[in-house]
Amino acid sequence: MGKFARSWELMKASAGVLRSDKSLLVFPLLSGICSLVVMASFLIPVASMTIEGERLGVHYQHGLSTASWTLLFFFYLVQYFVIFFFNTALAGVALKRLRGEAASVSEGLALAGSRFGAILGYALIAATVGLLLRMVQERLGLIGRFIVGLIGLAWTVATFLVVPVLAGEGVGPVEAVQRSVELLRRTWGENLIGNAGLSVVFGVIGFVFVLASAVLVGGAFATHSITAVVAAIGIVVLGFIALALVQSSLQGIYAAALYRYAEEGEAGTGFPPGLLEQAFRSKS
């Protein structure tokens, strides 16, 4: 309960920054839209080729071919670039806000644009790691999924502060990963309680929202009104989108606050230092 309460306080501190600058929601919104465009640009041609192949009686081999692995790699590369680009823009604006400075969406996008090469390089690293993990999973089945889960967790921890480093320091992708590992090891060790806690908090909120959505949609169907059903589904979809935008923004703000705390000993406006010290205890 103590960890949950602390995580709730951390989320409230992040929410305070978001309330002071709601334009931060624009970055995950743009990221989501661009990600959908990227996904469609890859999936639609593949689906069309598959359907046409089935019509012509072409049988595909079990597992992925070299061409399929190559296509998957480029999909990872473009998708990661889009995500990292807008996350860097968000981190840049959040860092300014935490320093008490004014910042705009255009300034965040300009900052991310100035880091284009580093972001692309980091996307290349992430895509390579993602593809290798997918290959291990494909080859080893259940054991592979377990191994991928462990390696994926280690990679997530190691790269936790890469985006704020890219936004705050403008270093290259390899150095950004090294800096992320250094900052985590030096300041908080292995106890990423706060970030996990944020996920738990949003998991609880998401679960409550799903139950409420089920009641709302079920009630709409009970009225036998098409208008009510469409309205209920629309409200649920918009609610899920809003929840996802808020969660992504809060996680970006939180990561920026942790980066500032590691570098300067204070997170910034709205984040009491003692709160972060309790959430991330140094490895003894």
pTM: 0.82
CA distances from 280 to 7, 10, 67, 183 (A): 11, 12, 44, 12
How many angstroms separate the CA atoms of 92 and 105, rounded? 10
Residue 189 pLDDT level (bands cut at 50, 70, 90): very low
The residues near 265 (Cβ < 8 Å, ≥ 6 apart) are 273
How many angstroms separate the CA atoms of 284 and 92, rounded? 32
Taking the mean position of all CA atoms in its chain, how far away is CA 99? 23
Residue 53's pLDDT is what? Answer: 55
Among 129, 123, 87, 122, which Cα is nearest to 108's?
A: 87
pLDDT > 50? residue 107: yes
Residue 51's pLDDT is what? Answer: 66
Do 231 and 220 touch, CB atoms closer than 8 A? yes
Rounded mean pLDDT, 18-27: 90
Q: Where are the alpha helices (DSSP H) in 172-225?
A: 173-187, 193-222
Residue 191 pLDDT level (bands cut at 50, 70, 90): very low
For the stretch 40-91, pLDDT in tens is 888 877 776 666 555 555 555 555 677 778 888 999 999 999 999 999 999 9
Q: What share of the chain is helix, strand, coil (3-state, %, to 5)?
A: 85, 0, 15
Do 186 and 161 touch, CB atoms closer than 8 A? no
For the stretch 130-182, pLDDT in tens is 998 888 877 777 777 888 888 888 888 888 889 999 999 889 999 999 998 88
pLDDT > 90? residue 110: yes
Residue 203's pLDDT is what? Answer: 82
Do 137 and 148 touch, CB atoms closer than 8 A? yes
Q: Output the DSSP codes for 266-283.
A: --BTTB-HHHHHHHSPPP
pLDDT > 70? residue 231: yes
Query: Interhelix angle for 173-187 vs 116-158, to 10°?
Result: 30
Residue 280's pLDDT is what? Answer: 57
